[in-house]
Amino acid sequence: MLKFPSYSSGLALTLLACGLAVPSAHAEVLTVSNNSNSGPGSLRWALDTANSTAAPDTIVIFNSVASPIVLSGSELVINSDIDIQGPGSEKLTLDGGGYTRRFFTITGGNVKISGLNFSRGRRELGGAILNRSSKPVLISNCNFSGNSAWESGGGAIYNENSTQLSVSGCTFSNNFVYSPQGYQVNGGAIYNRGTLNLGECTFNDNAAGATVANRLSLGAGGAVYNAFFAKLLSTNNKFTANLSNQFGGGIANFGTITLNRDSFSTNRARLNGGGVYQAVNQDGKIEKCTFTGNSTEPSGGGGAISNSGFLYVYESSFASNSANYGGAVCSLSDAPESTPRLSLLRNSFIENKAISLNNGVSYFTVQGRGGAVFSGGQWALTGLANNTFYKNSVTGTRLYQYRVGTDRTSGGAIHLASGRIQMFCCTLVGNFDNTSGGYPSEQIGTLTRAGGIMTSANNVFIKGGTNPPFWGYSDPTASGNVDKNFSFDTLAGAGLEETLKVHNGIQSYFPLKLSSPLLDVGLLDASPVDDIRALPRPAGSAPDVGAFELQDAERSPHLSISGGAVSEGHAGTRTLFFQVNLSMAHNKPVTVKYATATAPTNAATINVDYVPITLKTLTFPAGSTYQTIEVPILGDRIDEVDEQIQVKLSAPVNAKISTAVATGTIIDDDLEPLITAKGTGTGKNLDRSCDGHHYR
């Protein structure tokens, strides 16, 4: 039903009969009741009506409208405050019909669009929606599939200068941008030149620089392109299997970005930044994000992230990403700065790979460098703190026969090609260079320093990998080096737990044991104020070495006691054992006082049933986790109930008590005496004594 304000009924009926919208200064609710391209009850008719009024209007599309609405003729224009409410993206599709046409061009107004599926829109920019409104625009719970743009970009949405666009709960799939002439086109799903807020969206299989009619065009930002001076805030979005023919398989940033709790998986760029590309001198912040299985082509860098600007990455995880250099992250800034161009804080890098490129010619190979991180740029500074590097590697064959540049080492975890690295409190375990070829004595599995300056302190290196199984870095005495690092052959030798733990579902780390030689031996002036879990350091007299700081509560193992049971016997003594457990091994001795006590029920009698212990000290040598307490039990031939004894712990040293009292049981093993009625003996039980007890 169409609603309109009260005019004289004659005027209203006359206008409707002529097919004209009734003008209004009041808000209206307009309904779309059919899927026609035009005419009363159509979406085009409702928009024309809403645009003719100054007041904000709402357009509601009935659930009964048959899908799709195939648009022909001119595109739909929105120039006033309008709220378009579709029945749900799964119920109604706006279909471009394969024509050169987008669906909505927003030229003004505070606009909301929800509950629609946009399919097969096609235009030179913004295949489905072009936003030019100076007022806020919100698009929510919509689906964009198979839309394309061929000139500038934005396969689904193009957001112009000075605009504020929010996109929430939407899905973008199989949108793409291309150029028939092979020119540059960007933003497979979204091209942003204004301010863009993304939340709870999914981007799947979008492409920038798609191949159309066998012509490959250049493109950046397989899912999203953030242009110069633009701002992007992205929260809780998923980017999967998007492709860029140049930079940024998921996102290409040439402006300012903040990414929070986004996930990037299996995105790919032909050049740099399989997941995210950060352009020269631009600003970016990435927090609590996950990067898994992203990659570049064999000659590209930064399987997950490529940075040429100022980028701050913290509390994120990088797993199984790959590239030629910087399997997870590469930084290529050349500008001399005292502030790091790339800051990596409280992250984990697991099983990322730098893959060497061999074009099949025996004497030409581009060496893979930096299984997890590659840092280049003549004077640029890269800062690392509280990161875990585990099983990152450089892989390839027939290497070094012809080297590109002068690098002779690869860096299973980190490769510093030039510039500077400051690395503090990192844990590097089992990273390796698994290549073969010349200069085997100079292949390094963990770190390499080819031409830069490395400042390194409070790190722990664990040897790992094969061919060759080397650890360490090539020049620990480099200028400016503050060297207090430790190397071990095994996790056990370093006092690290054997299994990775995960913090907040994101970062992985190796916890320290209380017996670890890495406790309290780091440099105070070379340590960050917290660890990989953002917990304070130092917790002890000095910082711990590596990414993990053992906290005060974790430094005090907990004592608990449990009681056993024993049969009392008929004579002599037996032993009732109480076991005392320590929750974790300590690198110092642990002591605790103990004594027996009277149980509250069925209490055993002192010096009749057991020998009391007044107060003794139980000692746990360093590294041990359990001890026993022995209570002497006195045997007798008295039939009685099972009796109980308690042992209490007190006054611990280097530990805390979690269970202070345990109860042990003395099991009575005497037979009950047999009493028979006088004069009715049957000859049974004649082996009993006159006092009625059975002696054995």
In order of 14, 197, 457, the CA distances from 157 in angstroms are 40, 13, 48
pLDDT tens for residues 289-316?
999 999 999 889 999 999 999 999 999 9
Average pLDDT, the chain: 85
* Rounded Cα–Cα distance for residues 357 and 368 (Å): 7
β-bridge pairing 215-216 and 211-212: antiparallel
Average pLDDT over residues 459-470: 57
β-bridge pairing 501-503 and 148-153: unpaired
pLDDT tens for residues 27-65?
789 999 999 999 999 999 999 999 998 889 999 999 999
pLDDT attached to residue 212: 60
With contact defined as beta carbons under 8 Å apart, do 230 and 192 qualify? yes
Which pair of tokens denotes residue 627?
């001890």
Average pLDDT over residues 398-405: 35
Average pLDDT over residues 80-107: 93
For the domain bounded by 558-667, which CATH number is listed?
2.60.40.2030
Residue carrying the six token digits 């700065």: 337
* Rounded Cα–Cα distance for residues 54 and 47 (Å): 13
Q: Give the residue from 658, 512, 647 showing the smallest Cα distance to 582.
A: 658
Which pair of tokens denotes residue 256?
């300012």
pLDDT attached to residue 469: 33
pLDDT attached to residue 97: 81
Q: Can you tell me whether residue 44 is helix, strand or coil? A: helix
In order of 39, 388, 457, the CA distances from 542 in angstroms are 78, 20, 13
pLDDT attached to residue 444: 41
β-bridge pairing 420-424 and 453-457: parallel
pLDDT attached to residue 289: 98
pLDDT tens for residues 209-255?
866 655 667 899 999 999 999 999 999 999 999 999 999 999 999 99
Q: What pLDDT band is residue 4 in, cutting at 50, 70 and 90? A: very low
pLDDT attached to residue 687: 45
Average pLDDT over residues 650-672: 93
Half-sphere exposure of 68 (CA within 13 A, CB side): 15
pLDDT tens for residues 515-546?
889 999 998 888 899 999 999 999 999 999 99
Q: Can you tell me whether residue 667 is helix, strand or coil? A: strand
Domain boundaries, the chain: 308-555, 558-667
Query: What residues does 283 pair with on adjacent strands?
Result: 256, 310
Confidence check: pLDDT of 465 > 80? no
Q: Can you tell me whether residue 621 is helix, strand or coil? A: coil
Average pLDDT over residues 627-647: 95
pLDDT attached to residue 27: 76
Instruction: Give the list of residues 6+ apart from residue 226 with CB closer than 8 angstroms, or none.
Output: 192, 196, 232, 251, 252, 253, 254, 255, 256, 257
